[in-house]
Amino acid sequence: MARPASGTIETVALADGSESIRGRFKHAGRRYRVAFGRDVDGWTTARARRELDDILAQLRAGIAAAQILARYGPMDDAPGIPASDVTFHEYASEWLRRRRSGERGDEPLAENTYADYLWRLSKHLLPFFARMPVAEIGYVDCRRFRARLFAEREQLLEMVAGGGRPRDGHGRPRKPLSQRTIQMQLGLLAQILDDAIEDGLRRDNPARRKRLRVRVPKPNRTFLEIDQLVALLDAARPIEAAPRSTRRAKLSVPEVAEVPRRLAAGETQAALLREYGLSAGSMSMLAQGRTCRAENDRVGWRALCAVLAYAGPRTSEALDLRERDVRLHDPAGSRLWIADSKTETGVRHVEITPALRDELLAHRAEKLRRGCPTGPDEFLLCTRAGRRWSDDNVRNRIVEAAAAHASAELARRG
C-alpha cells in the first residue's frame, strides 16, 4: 500500500530580512503551494507542519482544495518581492489553466488557442525553461532560447536541402520552424512573464527587449485568375477519382493468393514487399487476408477546393462546416455561416457566388448518391463515412496535389 503524501515545509528569505514559512504538497495529480505566514508573525516550521497535516487530512476527507486554501493569503507575503523558488514549469502550468478557464484574461481561451499554447509550451518553452525559477529568468536566458530555436531551424533546413526526411520520436515528419513561429514562441514567453510581474514574482520582462524581436518577412500574397481557378477545380476531379494506391493494385489474383502461403511457409513480410514493390501497409493487409480495391470512396475534393477558392475560409473553418451551416435553396441569398472567434457574435456570414452554389449543390447530390450522412449536424466536407478530414491531409493530398496538377496542365497548354 502506497504511503500517503505528507508534503514538505520550506522557508524562503524575504527582502526585509524575515522568512516566509510555506508548504508544498501534491493532491489528485496536481501540485499545490501555500504560504502560511512569516516568522515575525509567530510562524515556525513545526507549526506549519501541523497546519499542513490538517490540510492533507481535510483533502482525504473529500473537502475541495480550493475551499481549504481560500483562507490563506497570497504566496508573496511582501508585495513586489519575488518568490525565487517558483519554477517556470509550475507557474506556466498554472498560468495556462487560469487562462483556459477565463480566470485570467478577458475571456476563456478557445480550444484551438489552448491547443496552440500547450504545443508551444510542451515542445519548446518547457524543455528550455522548465527548471528555471521564474524570478531568475534573464535577458541572457531569453537570448539563448532564441538562438536555440534558430539553430534547430537551420539544422532542419540543411537536412531537408540535402534530401533528408527528419522525423520525431513518433515517426512523424519534422518541419523547420518559420520565423513567424519563432516570434510566436517568444511572444508567449513574454505573455507569461508579464503576468508574473503582475503576480509579484518579478519586476521586469526581459522577453520584451527589442533585440529579441524576430523580423518576420511579409508573405507573398497571390491570387488566382479565373482561368487558373477553373484549372484548379478541374484538376481536383481526376485526383479524387484516381485509384487509392497504384502499389496496392500491382499484384495479380494468383499473386495475391500466393503471398499468404509464402508468409505461412516462413518468408518475411520485408522480403516479400521488396520483391513485389509493395508498401508496408499493403503487405500488412495481404498478410491479414485483406485486399484493396483499385477504386476509392472519395467524395467532395472538388467541392472543398471550390469552398476554399470562392469563399476564402481557413482550411480548419471549411472542414468544420456542418450541413446546417450552408444555405443553398435561395439563389439570391445563398450563404455560409462560419464559426469565428474573432467576431463579436462568434459567427461570420459569407455570401455564396452562383458558381460556388452550383458546386455545393452538385456535392450534396453526390453525397446522397453515395449514401453519405447528410443530416444537419453532419460535416459538409468529409469522408464517405461522415468523418472530418485532417487539416494536414487536406493541404498535402488535396490542395497541394490539385495545385501541382493544375500548374502542370497550364504549362502544357503554354
Quote the pLDDT of residue 336: 84
Quote the pLDDT of residue 345: 57
Pick the closest to residue 317 from 398, 400, 379, 235 (CA basis): 379
Burial class (CB in 10 A: 0-12, 13-18, 19+), 24: middle
Pick the closest to residue 4 from 53, 72, 69, 68 (CA basis): 53
Quote the pLDDT of residue 206: 93
Average pLDDT, 10 consecutive residues per value, the chain (414 residues)? 71 73 83 82 87 89 82 51 68 88 82 90 91 90 94 88 79 84 93 88 90 83 80 84 56 77 86 79 77 66 88 86 86 78 65 87 89 88 86 85 88 86
Q: Is the pTM of this model over 0.75?
A: no
- Spell 292-305 as b/e; 16+ CB within 10 A means b: beeeeebbbbbbbb
The answer to whether 328 and 352 are in contact (CB under 8 A) is yes
